[in-house]
Amino acid sequence: MNFEKITPPENGEKITYSDGKLIVPDSPVIPYFEGDGIGKDVVPAAKMVIDAAVEKIGKEIVWFKTYAGEDAHKIYGTYLPEDTLNAVREYRVAFKGPLTTPVGGGFRSLNVTIRQVLDLYANVRPVYYLNGFPSPLKSPEVVDLVIFRENTEDVYAGIEWPRGSEEANKIIKFLSDELGVSIRSDSGIGIKPISEFATKRLVRLAIQYAIDNERRSVTLVHKGNIMKYTEGAFRDWGYEVAKDEFGDRVITEDELWNNYNGELPKGKILINDRIADNMFQQLLTRTAEYDVLAMPNLNGDYMSDAAAALVGGLGVAPGSNIGDGMGVFEPVHGSAPKYAGQNKVNPTAQILTGVLMLEYLGWRRAGEMIKKAIELTIADRIVTYDLHRHMGGNLVGTREFAQAVVERLESV
């Protein structure tokens, strides 16, 4: 593939995709972009740690620098150039920092645009506790969730019109004249599409993940008691794909209690559902009962941020956007421009995003070593300012924290 203003590295090999599986060479080329704000601090720090861990298992990542956000605008005159999107398409796995959506720009959200253009339909966010991090829970070690958030539909599809616009007035008139639905004339209008196709492919991915990773349950989180034909349908379609495609591996909650007295049989996965508002409080009160959660877009945004608070906040929350044979890995936190370039912020979320990427590549051992090295660093009370406020210790900068993690990789 030819690129306009970037040049791929001469060494390294492409990741390929065949028969539903990634084929990962020992030296894959992986595009990355630092993004905006603190991305220029945390991405280099994370790469340092990732490179050290990968070397310990006899592998190598060949990084391919690409651009998005303010850097891209300076070079290309646009915040999300085709070069960057094409690099992800060509090499299949990418590592990115946070992006700031420009005010008045041509994008509703750069992150959402990347997900939609590349059809990265699942936002996958693991939430787990690392020893030593401050948490509001008495027993944060019980938190071990993976949230699958549908990425392309719901109100995040961006189908909306402002109050008083020609489009909004047309829709209000149509609803009144044709369907007898009364909406106030001074309303903004938004559309909430949830399709069988998008729902089933998300739930399919979540169930397959649960099978591959020996998880206990997949919970469909929805507000179907109110939004019956969107979120209620999400629930129904989720159960359908579980029954039709994984019938030999899953059992419902009714089957669990009626046939197995509440004891999950070995080799089976429980498929159940919860109302979204109830799920928020169950995250706190019955944390250990939940494992893999699948939900529509807006619920997933709320739920994943709330879950991150259980284990230390967004500063330790990794994330990814997964499609068929393609993944873009990004932390949950934003770009925090007021801290940019200060070598101050905690790079843990970006580092753990790298761990998630390594797991996606099949290099789980390297990822586990990184998590252990982070715990050892915290145990030695080497912390960035955000943790220092809660626990004291040896205050260090972004680079120095990453270097401390690298040093502790030697002992794991």
Three-state SS across 287-329?
HHHCCEEEECHHHHHHHHHHHHHCCCCHHHCCCEEEECCEEEE
Distance CA 369, CA 412 (A): 6
Q: Does the active-site annotation cover 21?
A: no
Distance CA 317, CA 167 (A): 39
Q: How far is CA 200 from each of CA 148, 233, 328, 330, rounded to the nearest angstrom?
A: 12, 11, 21, 24
Catalytic residue among 223, 290, 360, 371: 223
Q: H-type helices in 164-271, by residue range?
A: 166-179, 196-212, 231-246, 253-260
Catalytic residue among 156, 209, 290, 360: 156
Q: Is 160 exposed, middle or buried (0-12, 13-18, 19+ CB in 10 A)?
A: middle
Catalytic residue among 51, 144, 236, 277: 277
Q: Does the active-site annotation cover 301?
A: yes
Instruction: Provide DSSP, 242-293.
Output: HHHHHTTTEEEHHHHHHHHTTPPPTT-EEEEEEEHHHHHHHHHHSGGG--EE
Q: Does the active-site annotation cover 156?
A: yes
Q: Does the active-site annotation cover 290?
A: no
Catalytic residue among 36, 301, 360, 371: 301
Distance CA 252, CA 278 (A): 19
State the catalytic residues.
Answer: 156, 223, 277, 301
